[in-house]
Structure 1
Amino acid sequence: MTDDNQQAAPSSENAADAPHHRTIKSFVMRAGRTTEGQERALRELGPRFLVPFRAEVLDTTATFGRQAPVVLEIGFGMGDATAQIAQTLSDTDFLACEVHEPGVGALLKKIGEHDITNIRILQHDAVEVMEHMIAEGSLDGVHIYFPDPWHKKRHHKRRLIQPTFVDQLVSRLKPGGYLHLATDWEPYAQQMLEVLSANTALRNTAGSYADKPAYRPLTKFENRGLRLGHGVWDLVFRKA
């Protein structure tokens, strides 16, 4: 990830004449050291649990080796919550997107330690995954927990939860499928609520913000924030 806008490189065939399209990234590629244990997990478990990005619709039944509800998680960080949710909801398959290699390695390590079989990982930009690999009307749910709030006003355009992206998420959900967001930044929670409420294909399962669903564990960071009096806001909307 980078804080600057990315340029899509034109093909060499028409490089001189092609316009330069600027794509705003909602994430920044943070530098981070991959530990020896994470590297071992990438090496040993990656071939089984990592799904390579391809510009074609993913066959989730073949990918997971069974037919089950499928939930997409976008940006799982170090994978603690993802691993716990997958163990709690063992009858559901989780397709998890994260671009940071230490986080991918950490989740793979947890998969090995706890013998978790219902997670597959895409180490790729979730926007492109949604566009190319997820079929319309195929998801039972989407989890997006604590996305970068981009605090400064001039960076709000980089926030992941925008009307266009929510439209795309909704198109990938089955009727009755749900969208579960969580943030600890109240101004972003307010924007999330406004954007989701404005989508006529979604209905709010709560009057405003939702109670934290039992399947979502409290992270160490979240627990520390709650002890300091910081708020956390969950939103759960369903597709009509």
Structure 2
Amino acid sequence: MSASDQQIPHRRTVVSYVQRGERMTTGQQRAWDRYWGEFGHDISELPEGPLDTTGWFGRAAPLVLEVGSGMGETTAQLAAARPEHDHLAVEVYKPGLAQLLARAENLGIDNLRLLRGDATVLLREHFTAETLSEVRVFFPDPWPKKRHHKRRLVQPDFVALVASRLRPGGVLHLATDWESYAEQMMEVCTAEPNLRNRWADFPGGWAPRPEWRPVTKFENRAHSEGREVHDLIFERV
């Protein structure tokens, strides 16, 4: 059975995020009021069926999805650096999305759209097979306590779902500064039959840190606290 024909089961009963406060700064509120209606959608309010990205962006271009864009520092810079790609950012934290809108305004970005809500719902219900050129999950919540590991986003069902939505040759790029989560990511992605590790011949299978991925304050903090950052780059076969 091809990935196009697979029905990805939905067994997920816990989510990988927590709802945080939504108080915004004056600048964030201004960006939200000015731009969300044009550049953002709540996933819960999307019409049934595939997301019309061609209509939303006004063109058909390779599509990159970033899951968990946080405050948007990396997302905005990467969208600006690759204007030939369309970029989607999915995040649950409203002030983070508002901050990303402000960053996009400052950089003059027009190839970025934002979605608020659960990335798993977005992938399962609003993308068809072999739609995405790349999916990025940078520094997801590590849920470091062992009893909370079930809340981690990168689990077999999620990775299988992502793989089914990637085009052949498309990329799943993960990064984390938590050793145990990196090992879990590697185990889960290696076990997914529709993915192969582009850096399997390198020590541990870890990818070299891409120079193009911006260094955020969170990554700098990880280094200052002695945590090594691991990148994983897998390709859809």
TM > 0.5: yes
State the alpha-carbon separation in 2 of the partners of residues 200 and 22 from structure 1. 20
Secondary structure in 1 matching 2:233? strand
1:28 is the counterpart of 2:25? no
Give the percent of matched residue pairs that are identical in Structure 1 and Structure 2: 48
For 2:42 and 2:91, locate their aligned partners in 1 and report how far apart those are by CA, in whole Å: 12
User: Can you list the C-alpha shifts for 1:162-220, whole angstroms capped at 9, x where unaligned?
Assistant: 11111100000000000000000010000000000011111101131101223211101
User: Residue 89 of structure 1 contacts residue 215 of structure 1 at CA under 8 Å; is this kept in 2?
Assistant: no
What is the root-mean-square deviation in Å for CA atoms of aligned residues?
A: 1.4
Q: Could you say which residue in structure 2 is the equivalent of 1:146?
A: 139
Q: Where do 4+ consecutive residues of structure 1 move more than 6 Å?
A: none
**Which fold has the larger relative contact order, with Cα–Cα distance below 8 Å and residues 6 or more apart in sequence?**
2
Cα deviation digits, residues 115-141 of structure 1 (max 9, x gap): 111110001111111111112110000
* TM-score normalized by the length of structure 1: 0.88
- Give the structure with higher Rg (CA): 1
Aligned with residue 201 of structure 1, among 194, 203, 210? 194
Match of 2:210 in 1: 213
Residue 42 of structure 1, aligned match among 11, 21, 32:
32
**Where does residue 3 of structure 2 map in the other structure?**
none
Task: Give the superposition deviation at 1:111.
Answer: 1.0
Q: Does 1:190 align with 2:183?
A: yes
Q: Counterpart of 1:51 in 2: which secondary structure?
A: strand
Q: Is the 8 A contact 1:29 1:99 kept in 2?
A: yes
**CA distance in structure 2 between the partners assigned to 1:26 and 1:74 by the alignment:** 11
How many Å apart are 1:230 and its aligned residue? 2.1
Which residue does the alignment assign to 1:232?
A: 229
**Is the counterpart of residue 118 in structure 1 residue 111 in structure 2?**
yes
**Aligned partners of 1:100, 1:79: CA distance in 2, in Å?**
11
Deviation at 1:109, TM superposition (A): 0.5
Cα deviation, residue 48, structure 1: 1.4
Q: How many residues align?
A: 220
Report the TM-score, using the length of structure 2 for normalisation.
Answer: 0.89
Q: Distance in 1 between matches of 2:219 and 2:42?
A: 31
Structure 1 gap ranges (5+): 1-20
Give the Cα–Cα distance (whole angstroms) in 2 for the partners of residues 236 and 193 of structure 1. 10
Can you list the C-alpha shifts for 1:131-155, whole angstroms capped at 9, x where unaligned? 1111211000000011111111111
Note the C-alpha offset of 1:228.
Answer: 3.9
Query: Quick one: distance in 2 between partners of 1:33 and 1:51?
Result: 19
- Note the C-alpha offset of 1:22: 8.6
Residue 93 (structure 2) pairs with residue 100 (structure 1): yes
Bigger shift: residues 178-187 or 217-226: 217-226
CA distance in 2 between counterparts of 1:109 and 1:167 reads 34
Equivalent-residue separation in structure 1 for 2:24 and 2:98 (angstroms): 7
Offset at residue 32 of structure 1 (A): 4.7
Equivalent-residue separation in structure 2 for 1:223 and 1:24 (angstroms): 30
